Copies of this chain bind each other. A is one copy, B any other.
Amino acid sequence: MTAQTPIQESPEDLVARIAITAREAQRQLTRLSDAEKAQALRAAAAAIRAAEADILAANDRDVTAGEAAGLTGASLDRLRLDPQRLAGIADAVEHVARLPDPVGHVIDSSTPANGLALSRVRVPIGLIGIIYESRPNVTADAAALCFRSGNAVLLRGGSEAVHSNRALHAAFVLGLEQCGAPADAIQLMPTQDRDAVGAMLTAAGLIDMIVPRGGKSLVARVQADARVPVLAHLDGICHTYIHSAADPAMARDIALNAKMRRTGICGAMETLLIDAHFAGAGKVLSDLLEAGCELRGDGRARAIDSRVLPASEEDWDTEYLEAILSVAVVDGLDAAIAHIDLHSSHHTDTIVTEDADAAERFLADVDSAIVMVNASSQFADGGEFGLGAEIGIATGRLHARGPVALEGLTTYKWLVRGSGQVRP
Complex alpha-carbon distance, A30 and B375, angstroms: 26
Encode A130-152 as 1/0 by CB contact (under 8 A) with B: 00000000000000000000000
Q: Are B378 and A229 in contact (CB under 8 A)?
A: no
Q: Are A420 and B247 in contact (CB under 8 A)?
A: yes
- Interface hit among A78-86, A88-96, A249-257, A307-315: A249-257
Identify the interface centre among A254, A368, A412, A416: most chain B CB within 10 Å of its CB.
A416
Question: Using Cβ atoms and an 8 Å threshold, which residues of chain B touch A261?
Answer: 422-423
Nearest CB in chain B: distance from A55 CB, A? 29
Q: How many copies does the complex hold?
A: 2
Nearest CB in chain B: distance from A357 CB, A? 14
Encode A401-424 as 1/0 by CB contact (under 8 A) with B: 111000000011111111111110
A362 closest partner in B (C-beta): B415
Q: Are B373 and A112 in contact (CB under 8 A)?
A: no
A230 closest partner in B (C-beta): B229
Q: Are A397 and B257 in contact (CB under 8 A)?
A: no
Encode A364-377 as 1/0 by CB contact (under 8 A) with B: 01011111111110
Question: Using Cβ atoms and an 8 Å threshold, which residues of chain B touch A231?
Answer: 398
Question: Using Cβ atoms and an 8 Å threshold, which residues of chain B touch A367?
Answer: 123, 413
A231 closest partner in B (C-beta): B398
Q: Are B411 and A379 in contact (CB under 8 A)?
A: no
Question: Using Cβ atoms and an 8 Å threshold, which residues of chain B touch A110?
Answer: 386
A179 at the interface (CB under 8 A from B): no
Q: Are B229 and A396 in contact (CB under 8 A)?
A: yes
A370 closest partner in B (C-beta): B414
Complex alpha-carbon distance, A231 and B411, angstroms: 14
Question: Using Cβ atoms and an 8 Å threshold, which residues of chain B touch A422?
Answer: 253-254, 256-258, 261, 375-376, 378
The verdict on A411 contacting B397 (CB below 8 Å), with A370-B416, A417-B359 known, is yes
The verdict on A374 contacting B411 (CB below 8 Å), with A367-B123, A398-B125, A399-B399 known, is no
A114 at the interface (CB under 8 A from B): yes
Q: Are B421 and A363 in contact (CB under 8 A)?
A: no
Q: Are B413 and A112 in contact (CB under 8 A)?
A: no
Encode A254-280 as 1/0 by CB contact (under 8 A) with B: 101110010000000000000000000
With beta carbons under 8 angstroms apart, the residue of B372, B401, B417, B419 that contacts A418 is B372
Complex alpha-carbon distance, A372 and B52, angstroms: 49
Nearest CB in chain B: distance from A177 CB, A? 24
The verdict on A112 contacting B208 (CB below 8 Å), with A125-B397, A372-B418, A374-B421 known, is no
With beta carbons under 8 angstroms apart, the residue of B253, B379, B416 that contacts A372 is B416
Q: Are A384 and B418 in contact (CB under 8 A)?
A: no
Q: Are B371 and A423 in contact (CB under 8 A)?
A: no
Q: Are A423 and B376 in contact (CB under 8 A)?
A: yes
A281 at the interface (CB under 8 A from B): no
A25 at the interface (CB under 8 A from B): no
Nearest CB in chain B: distance from A385 CB, A? 6
Given A123-B367, A402-B414, 5 other A-B residues pairs in contact with their CB atoms under 8 A:
A250-B420, A371-B413, A376-B422, A379-B423, A384-B423
